[in-house]
Structures are given as structure tokens and as C-alpha cells.
A and B are shown apart, each in its own frame.
Chain A
Amino acid sequence: MNKLFYPKLAAINIKKNSKTYLPFIITCICTISMFYIMHEISINKGLDGVSGSESLKVILNLGSKVIGIFSAIFLFYTNSFLIKRRKKEIGLYNVLGLEKKHISKILFFEFLYTSIFSLLVGLIAGVILDKLMFLLLLKLLKFKVAFGFTISVPSIIITLLLFTGIFISTLLSNLVQIKVLNPIELLRGSEHGEKEPKTKWIMTVIGLIALGTGYGLALKIEAPLAALQMFFVAVILVMVGTYALFTAGSIAMLKTLRKNKNFYYKTSNFISVSGMMYRMKQNAIGLANICILSTCVLVMISTTVSLYVGMEDVLRTRFPRDIILTAAQATKEEAEKIDEILVRESKDNNIDTTGKFNYFNKYFAAINNDGKLDLINKDSLSSDVTLLQFVSIADYNRLEGENITLKDNEAVVYSNVKNFDKNNLTIENKIFNIKESFNKPIEALKINMNDVINTYVVFVNDINILEANGDGAYYVAFDVSGSDENIGILSNKLNEKFKENNLQVHVDSSAGSKESFYSLYGGLFFIGIFLGALFLMATVLIIYYKQISEGYDDKNRFEIMQKVGMSKIEIKKTIRSQVLMVFFLPLVTAVIHVGFAFPMITKLLAVLNLRNVSLFMVSTIITILVFAAIYGIVFSLTAKAYYKIVE
């Protein structure tokens, strides 16, 4: 036989199967170039100058790992679809006299062509787009753009190794599949699985419980720190629930419908219920995948967009003033010295300070025992810990321009705890009568407050009223007039002077934090877009393949129904409604998931200091709309391919 026989046959095969092969190759190219880009950027030296580049690189590195793992799973999935479609063809070769080792040879050459081609194109596209993506990232980070073109050899090598590995393992799994099957089975390959699905009640119940618990967790959790801990539990429960309900729950529901004779034996229900049952049987896993991926895309993009856009808000919450000085355990003398240095430095550097406020506090960690607060060791961080702050009423009067006088057992109390007792506050064995209470913190308190931890701020005559030794600090916060540069100049000077005078003062400035914020949230945003695009591509491809395989399966059914007395229009109508239902089920479910996740994610964002719920709401809605639009477009394009096959 001619030596070129197998390579030629392999080439012809790819061409003939272009309808299924082309999307596969495109997926390979995209995942390869995405992986290369992400990996290259994560080790790019150009990022070293960005403040907070450490954490940024950790995020990017994580991102490239996620892409790697996901690519492997995804390419395996599409490959299994490809080989399933082609079993008949391979069986025919076998019947016509090609031995399995010859078929293996053909498959090997096909593998060689597709993998070399996609690696080559993928890497070239990666190298070209890499610079573009890097510039985009730097723009997101608000970092000065560095010029120059980089090709990273280590990234290329890692990409080559990873994807060659993936390709070889898919080839091996194909070869094993061919080996164990006999030609008759190969010929029938794609006609398997017409048996009626069984009802799996246990799975259904498990799914319902998992989904219900997941949703319940997402809705019920109040404390943001608890949300952080429970988030992954909820995610896993919802995922388990989704898979179980898509596979078992849908069948159980359809079978129950079928038992209802008066409902089932109606023209439209009759065809769709049984049709849906088989569609769900064949597609449940794929649809659950689409649903989970869509939820990921929606959550990822909406949160990262909100974080990025809401960054200024976050900064304002964290920094009600441009510069904040914190002197832990400062004495009165030290505090006076700090004030003195501040006044001198602002004068010497000719930088005006405005909106200044200062106060002492003393704070304790406590735990709530039936309305009574007991002090605990502050190192034990748990989600139900309560922060107790004492500030003198004199400071309060000064800051707020009030004139409240208190007895020693009286207090003015602010707390972010919902419905806290507004009459009495019991701490250890001391009972304070609350003279006045409020729900919103006064401005000066914002510098060391957050929504994340339950907090009581108690204004009393003497902040050392408790015998216990708590930590205390002296705070000074002020705005700096003039340009942002002044903030930097003044904070540097202050730092210098405090050191000279042996004062332990921490200088925080919004300008300094801004850069690290941008690098963190910009990095997250970048990853969000990137992974979002990847997952979206996966979703699109799964939909495409599903449509095609559905089309081949439906062709027969379509013909029989016509012979038995259904009009073309009727058939088209039922098929259309079934296809719509099947493909929009994941989208609708994903939106419901996002809806239930919303309260929980809001709380997680609060941990990251983003409290702008309406911003998050808007970005979620926009993300959903854009996603639904893309989904719809993809669906209608692939539906065309489907109708072409059926007709």
C-alpha cells in the first residue's frame, strides 16, 4: 500500500467531518492562545513595577491554572462528542477491511494534523494577542504602559507540554475505545441509548435537598464573614443540586406528568412530554454543564465589574480622609507630640490640612451570651465575635458639637447589630443604661469601622471603665488640600518625623492604597473577563454540538410522525418548542442561581468594602442581559444548523 495512504485518508476525513471538526479545532486554538497569554502575563517582568504585584501575580497564576484545568476537561468533552459521532464511519472502515491497527493509524494522523495545526496557530495567535491583552491589563491597573514586544519561551514550552499532553491523552482514550469495540457495535455506535430513562427518586430528593440547602444558606446568612466561610459550601450544594435535578429531577417530573392521563394524552403534551424525556436523558449532563458555566460567567463578570467600577466608593469607605494616622497604645503625651509634628510638617511643607478629627479609643473582643457581652481573647477570630469600642463622651461632644453629660453607669451607644437592645448594655458584669443610641456611625468612627464585624461603640465618661486590659489607639485623620501628590509628600514626611521621634505611628493614605487597589481589582477584573470569555466559548460550543446531535436523532422521529398523520407545521411547532425549552432551561436556571446568590455575594463584596448594592445590582442585570443576548444569538445560529439537518 502506498505510504501516503493513511496521511491522505486522515486529511480527507478531517475535511469531510468539518462540521464537527472545525469547532473543535477553533476551541483548541482559543484555549491554547488563552492559556499562553494568561501564563505569559503572570510571569511578565513588566508587572514588577506595579504596587501589589505579588498578589496580582498570584491571581494571574491561579487564573492560568484554572484555564489549564478547564481546557483539559473541555477538550476531553468535545473529543468524546467527536468520536461518538464518528463511530459509524470507523465501523464501516473496519467492515470494509481496514484492521484496527490501520484505523488507529488514521486516527493518529488526524490527531497529528489537528494538534500541530492548533498548537501552531494557537501559539501564534497567543503571541500576537498577548501584547494587546497585556496593554489592556495595564490599562485596567491604571499603570503606565511599557513598550516592547515579548515572546516568553518558558510560557511557550509550558503551553506546548500541557496541550500536547491533553491531545495525546484524548488520542489514547480514542484508541482504547476503538480497540474494545467490535465492528457491529462501531456501526451502531451513535444509535445507542434509546432506552427509556429510569426514574431516580433518591437522586431527585438529594438534588432538591442540596439545592434547597444551598439556596437557604445563600439567603439566610447575615454575617459577611460567615458568608465567606459558607460560600463554597453553598456553591457545591447548588452544583450538586443542579446536576441531580437536571439528570434525575427532570425525568421524575416528566414521568409524573405522564402518569396524569388527562394531561398526557393531549396532542401537544403527548409529543413534548415523551420527546423531552429523551432529550433530557441524552442532554442532562451537557445542559447542567451549560447551566453551571453560565452561572460562573454571570457571577464572575458582575462581581469583578462591580469591584472595579466601585473602587472609588471602596476607597472612600476605607478612607473618609486622605491621610489617617494610627498610633497604637499611644499615651496622652505621645498624642500631643503627634499633633505637634503634624501641625509643624503641614506648615513647613506648605500643605494645608482640612477636616481634621482625632480621638482615643479602647477596644475589646467580646462574644454575645444571651444579650450579655463577655470579653474574650481577641486572637480568636470567629464569625460571631463582637467588637467593643470605648470612646470618651468628651471626644464625642467635641467631634459632634454636642453637649451630653453622662453618669458613670450611663452610655451613648452606636451599633451595626440589627435591633440591638436600646435600653441596657451588659458587658461582663457591668450594666450600662443607654441614654442615647443611633444606627449610623458618626463620621469620625468610619475610619475603623466596617460592616463585616458586629460592633458596639460605647461612649462613656472613662474609657478605662473596664478592669480588663484592652488595646487602645489614638487616631488622627484629615484631608490634604491641593493635588494628590501632596498626600504622598506629606505622608512621607510624617513617616520620617515619627520615626525620628521614636513614635509608633502608622500612616495610611488613600493615594497609596489606590494603586494596590487598582492592581488587585484590576487583576480580578481582567481574570473575570478572560475566564468569562472562556466559559462563554465553552457554552457556545456545547450548544452547537448538542444541536447537531439532536438534529441527527430527530430526523427519524420527524419522518415517522409525518407518516402517521402529523402535519409539517405541527411537527415544526412541537420541535421548536422542545428545542427552545431544552436550551433555555440552563439559562433560566442560571439566572435563578444568580438571583439566590445575590444576597450572599453582596455580603462577600461588603467584606471587600464594596457596599454599593445598587451598583452590583445594575452590573448583574446588565451582565445577565448581555449574556442572554449572546446566548440567544448563538442559539438562533445553531438552530439553523439543526433545521438544516432535520429537513
Chain B
Amino acid sequence: MKRALTSLLVSAILSLAALGAVVDGQWSAEGSAKTAPKKLSIHVNQNSLSGTMDGMAITRSGVDGGFFWFYVVRNGADFLYKGQIKGGKIELRESGPHVHRTLTFTRVQ
């Protein structure tokens, strides 16, 4: 009983902290697409995010379960990014005017 309760508590605490701990930090884009964003700095604040993408501030954002999303204004247009952690990397779906692609970011050591 003791062991079950302890493991329940530990897993609850871990899952609480999980997304923030995993996502927070500096990230760098894989690949060399010219128009793709290169650098991502991100911080989870409970149910929203703060940070920058190539120096441009995140405007609106949300965190929901293991997923997060945010907007950045790039070249004067609103771009939506939908993200999640997969295999220790951030997989981001980028959606903007005439741009719809999936980007991968690795943590900057």
C-alpha cells in the first residue's frame, strides 16, 4: 500500500513538471531551409508559453496536456506553431501564408 501510494505521488509530481522541464530552454532548427526559423527560446508558464523565435516574441500561446501552440509574427504575418516533444526533440507544425510544414528543433547544449 505504502509503495503504491508513494509511486502514485511521485508519478503525479513528475507528470506535473514534465512538459515545462522538457520544453524549457534554447532550441535550434534541424535542416537548412532558408525561410525556416532557426532558433527557439521557450519557457512554459503553467498553461501558456513565453519566449522568442529568431528574436521575435511569442504573442498568443497555450499548453494543453503534452501539446503546446504559439503565434509569432514573421515578415508581418501571423504564423501558428503547434508543438510537442518527440524523441527528445520539439516537432513543430508551422502554418502561415503559403507555408505549411513540419520542423524539428534539437536542444542547444
**A and B are interacting partners:** no
Interface set of B (CB-CB < 8 Å, partner A): none
The chain A residues found within 8 Å of chain B, CB to CB, are none
